[in-house]
Amino acid sequence: MKRAECIGMLYPELDDKLVVTIMGACAQELYDLGHKENFFYLQHAMGLASSIGLGLAMHLPQERIVVLDGDGSVLMNLGTLATMARYRPRNLVHIIFDNGSLLSTGGFDSHTSSGLTDLAAIAKGAGIEHVSAVDSVMGFGDAAIDAFIGASHGAPARAALIASLPETISARVRQRCLDGGVIPLQGQREAMEALALAGAVGVAWRSNPRVSLQIAPGGTRAEAVAYTLSEHEGKAALKEFGVAIPRGDLASPGSAAERAAALGFPVVLKAVGAHLEHKTEVGGVALNIRNAAEAEAAARRLSALSDSLLVEQMTSDGVAEILVGLIVDPQFGQVLVLGAGGVLTELLSDSVTLLPPWTRESVQAALRGLKVGKLLEGHRGKRAGDVEALVDTVLNVTRYASANLATLIELDVNPVIVRPKGCGAVAVDVMIRLTNPA
Amino acid sequence: MTVSYENSKAVFQGIKAAGITSVSALPETWLGLLLHHAEEDPDITLIQVAKEEEAIGIAAGAYFAGERHLLLMQNHGFLAAINGVVSLAQLYGIPLCMLIALRGHWGEPYPWHTRGGIVTEGVLRALGIPFEYARDPATVGRQIREAYTFSQSSLSPVALLLTRDLMED
């Protein structure tokens, strides 16, 4: 192993470090690679490069110090190893090139040339925590990584090794880092992106430490035995938890018009059945029916889809339509989704997800963050919506979800029609998927 | 003969008043009480060395780091550090403010201290190192401050010799 090769290998890493070298070939080889203002070449004063490095390291804890030393110099100041061990500066790397020779003064053998004197053993014996003895350039690189891993232990932060290009970090080095608890990041740009994301995750965890996940104790549900409540059953289930639904009832196609008249026009007619989850797309909904003739015509058309129809009062004074959903994430359990509802759901990417606990404040804040939230506040002179009633609806839906933690797979109230302030909010369509408890 | 508690305190107060934030030392009897004070002071970084010459290197590092550093040693330790003083501090113009316990001088009962005590002043003169004797607790603080100032302005080693009058009761 050539000293010059090692110094050449180190050189690109030295830009942001304070470097102290001993005199002679070591200084010359560093100088030949290109002098930098953070390099100090100690002429004479044999043995003191390490002490200068220690003095720098202890008084500049935010800087990193590299000392390039030789066997002859270290033998003149062996006490420095014990002093370094005592104060353990984590920002100091002391590199000793042991050529077994006093080269600059005529090439006389030093004490280490016989192989009897082992500087690494002396350093270990002095109490220096991380000592590596290497005899190849590859080993030198590995030792540098190990020194970094060692320095990262007990440090107040996570350590990462960032390769400037994704492909320049070998599988061997990567594994070495992972084994040592250091994160290998491949590529500067990729590393910055990863760090930014990790930072965002950290901020998120710190900002809401009160998260208490709602996860069914049985774990993953059996999708195979899942079933969907009919819209009418779903609405009835939510009504028990205080969710307002439109006045109305089931009727046969033949009696639908009569039932509509009893409710008072305008009404809505819907085909009901488990196979009709997307009834709007198959023409299973007739809106804004204003008289008995229209009701009869609609009932006749819908009878092709189902022999059971839902007749409901039409809510026609809505200010905004909001989606209230619950999904079950395998990792996070029940997650509340709020967003723009009705036909806008799939047009606008306007939704937000919330982890439990769900509170009045967290729901209000989430609604304010939606684009459609502007409609609720009274957009361009329009009337403001009954936000309090909407928040009540959302919280009532979450109470239903909590009560059915073991069986609920998916819940979609789309939309909740928010009426003007003081007039309430109505869940006009409900889809609930359940399974048997695990 | 015992080390003076009161005067050790006066010396330490002088060190503090001079704005010193970093001290290197090799413990010796006369400096013991002083070092205890330094150890307990949260504003002072104390670095105990294995041999005094090391402290010259550490003082250079501290100076490069912009720290107000002071060296504490016995005169025999100073003799052991001379190559560092000459080849590092004097060659590169690095200030050293050295407080040196002057053992083996007037009143010395122990023979083993005497040779070092007799030559210390001559060696300091030969090296061209400015020095003063500190004898009075009332003025030692000012002397420390002045020694530090002079080391910085002259970019050279400066020695304040702590005498028996000051260090023993």
Please give the residue of chain B at the shortest CA–CA distance from A54: B58
Nearest to A58 among B45, B53, B55 (CB): B45
HEC assignment per residue over A315-348: CCCCCEEEEEEEEEECCCEEEEEEEECHHHCCCC
Tell me if the domain spanning A3-157 has CATH number 3.50.50.60: no
Integer Cα distance of A237 and B68 in angstroms: 77
8 Å CB contact between A272 and A232: yes
State yes or no: ipTM above 0.85. yes
What is the predicted pLDDT for the residue at A148? 74
Per-residue model confidence as pLDDT tens digits over B45-66: 999 999 999 999 999 999 999 9
Distance, in angstroms, between B87 CA and closest chain A CA? 5
Report which listed range, A15-29, A45-59, A108-122, A335-349, is most confident: A45-59
Q: Which of left, alpha, beta for A264 (phi over 0: left; psi -120 to 50: alpha)? A: left
Contact yes or no for B61 and A47 at CB 8 A: no
Conformational region of residue A187, where left means phi above 0, alpha means psi within -120 to 50, and beta covers everything else:
left
How many angstroms separate the CA of residue A45 from the nearest CA in chain B? 5
Q: What is the average per-residue pLDDT within A129-149?
A: 81
- Measured in angstroms, the CA of A17 and the nearest CA of chain B are apart by 13
Residue type, A128: I
B83, A53: Cβ pair inside 8 Å? no
Percent of chain A with pLDDT over 90: 49
Chain B CB contacts of A87 below 8 Å: 47
In angstroms, the CA B76 to CA A231 distance is 98
SS3 A153: coil
Residue found by looking up tokens 């080993």 in the block: A139
Size of interface A-B (CB pairs under 8 A): 95
Q: How far is A60 from chain B (nearest CA, A)?
A: 6
Q: Which residues on B lie below 8 Å from A58 (Cβ)?
A: 22, 45, 47, 58, 61-62
- Phi, psi for residue A171 in degrees, rounded to 5: -60, -35
pLDDT for res A31: 93
Asked if the Cβ–Cβ distance from A51 to B56 is below 8 Å, we say yes
pLDDT at A438 over 60: no
| A92, pLDDT greater than 60 | yes
Picking from A175-179, A187-191, A219-223, A349-353, which range would have the lowest pLDDT averaged per residue? A219-223
Residues in B touching A42 (Cβ below 8 Å)? 88
Q: A393-406: per-residue pLDDT in tens?
A: 999 999 999 999 98
Does residue A136 or residue B83 have the better pLDDT? Answer: B83
Question: What is the pLDDT of chain A when averaged over all its residues?
Answer: 87
Mean pLDDT estimate for chain B: 96
b/e per residue, B10-47, with b = 16+ CB within 10 A?
A: bbbebbbebebbbbbbbebebbebbbebbeebeebbbb
Residue in A132, A171, A126, A167 with CA at minimum distance from that of residue A149? A132
Q: Which domains are assigned to chain B?
A: 5-167 (3.40.50.970)
> What does the domain layout of chain A look like in residue ranges?
3-157, 247-313, 320-434
Would the pLDDT of A163 be above 80? yes
Q: Please tell me the distance from the alpha carbon of residue A433 to that of residue A180, in angstroms, as a whole number.
A: 47
Fold classification of A247-313 is Dna Ligase; domain 1 (3.30.1490)
Structure tokens at A105: 């003064």
Q: Name chain A contacts of B70, Cβ cutoff 8 Å.
A: none
Chain B CB contacts of A48 under 8 Å are 53-54, 56-57, 60, 84, 88
Burial class (CB in 10 A: 0-12, 13-18, 19+), B139: middle
* Cβ pair A55:B59 closer than 8 A: yes
Distance of CA B107 to the CA centre of its chain: 21
User: What is the model's pLDDT at position B81?
Assistant: 97
A315 close to A385: Cβ distance less than 8 angstroms? no
3.30.470.20, 3.40.50.2000, 3.10.20.30, 3.40.50.300: which CATH number matches A320-434?
3.30.470.20
Which of B22, B67, B88 is nearest residue A48 as measured by Cβ atoms?
Answer: B88
Q: Find which of A195-209, A220-234, A241-255, A264-278 is predicted with most confidence, using mean pLDDT.
A: A241-255
Under a CB-based contact definition with an 8 Å cutoff, are residues B84 and A48 in contact? yes
Per-residue pLDDT, averaged over A57-72, amounts to: 94
Q: Chain A closest CA to B106's CA: distance in Å? A: 33
Check pLDDT > 70 for residue B3. yes
Structure tokens at B54: 């090391």
pLDDT bracket for residue A277 (50, 70, 90):
low
The DSSP annotation for B73-132 comes to: EEHHHHHHTHHHIIIIIIHHT--EEEEEE--SSTT---HHHHHHHHHHHHHHHHHT--EE
Residues of chain B with Cβ-Cβ distance to A88 below 8 Å are: none
Residues in B closer than 8 angstroms to A46, CB to CB, are 83, 87
**Span B93-108, mean pLDDT?**
96
Q: How many other CB atoms are found less than 10 A from the CB of residue A225?
A: 10
Over pLDDT 90: what percentage of chain B?
A: 99
Of B57, B63, B67, the CB nearest to A51: B57
- Please check the confidence at residue A1 and state whether its pLDDT lies above 70: no
